[in-house]
Amino acid sequence: MFVLSGCALSGSEEAERLSETAQVAQASFAVGDYPEAAQLYEKVSQTEPGSVSALIGLGRSYAAMGQIARAQSALDRARQLSPRNPQVLNELGRLALGQGNAAQALDFYEASLGYDRKNLAALTGKAVTLDYLSRHKEARAVYETGLAIYPTNFVLLSNHALSRVLSGDGAGGIALMEELRRDPVQGSQVVPNLAIAQVLEGRSAEARKVLKGQMSEAQIAALLRRAEEARRIRAEGQPIGHLVFQ
């Protein structure tokens, strides 16, 4: 229902030396040209069938286009080639969570952490998945573990702030997001989370104000409408993690 900041992985996580075609594919993905990225990654996969990084890129590209079956196929092949690769496991976790398969996603992230307990993407993914399952106390523990290793990481801090709101610390979570919003480079990334938190705390007018200029009026209306629905369900004592972290 809502966009959660910070599920993407950085290019620095690529473990293999990239060919020129793969570099162009990576650049295409970075600017949102997913069809071009997929086409280029397909070429790399054909010429380098053992390239795990190309298969990961292919999986990401197809997932971004909503072609889940093809994304799953690419990532499954990557896992066959490198079953203990945390990056592959993280991508499988992200794909599973995107389809609402939170239990499966949690298994992938935990497996990734089993091979690399400091893996930033796995820590973030596990915490987000626990919040999706409305297991907020456990999620916050994972965030705290991650922040002990990466104390200034923007994505961890942003998602931890929203987790705090969901677990009852609305004022503290919103204050942290307001601070992150002032970051000159990444500040805009926290705005959707901040708006969600404000609505959940009964501050819908402020949420509309913070979203103005960040998205279209139709998108703002849709986000606020859905956030209000989550607030209503929360007031009834029902879990809303699966609504917020989607």
Are the beta carbons of 88 and 78 closer than 8 angstroms?
yes
pLDDT value at residue 18: 59
Work out whether the CA dihedral 78, 51, 53, 59 comes out positive or negative: negative
Q: What is the pLDDT along the chain (246 residues), one digit of tens a residue?
A: 443 444 443 444 443 455 888 899 999 999 999 999 999 999 999 999 999 999 999 999 999 999 999 999 999 999 999 999 999 999 999 999 999 999 999 999 999 999 999 999 999 999 999 999 999 999 999 999 999 999 999 999 999 999 999 999 999 999 999 999 999 999 999 999 999 999 999 999 999 999 999 999 999 999 999 999 999 999 999 999 999 887
Measure Cα distances from 58 to 24, 75, 80 in Å.
Answer: 13, 8, 15
How far is Cα of residue 213 from the mean position of the Cα atoms in its chain? 23
pLDDT value at residue 245: 81
Please list the residues that pair with 215 across neighbouring strands: 212
**Per-residue pLDDT reduced to its tens digit, 37-61:** 999 999 999 999 999 999 999 999 9
pLDDT value at residue 66: 95
Measure Cα distances from 70 to 44, 81, 109 in Å.
Answer: 16, 17, 21
| Closest to 125 measured CA to CA, from 148, 95, 152 | 95
Residue environment code for 36-46, b if the CB has 16+ CB neighbours within 10 A, otherwise e: bbbebbbbbbe
How far is Cα of residue 219 from the mean position of the Cα atoms in its chain? 19
What does the alpha-carbon distance between residue 228 and residue 106 come to, in Å, rounded to a whole number? Answer: 28
Q: Which parts of 49-186 are beta strand (E)?
A: none
pLDDT value at residue 20: 86
Are the beta carbons of 112 and 90 closer than 8 angstroms?
yes
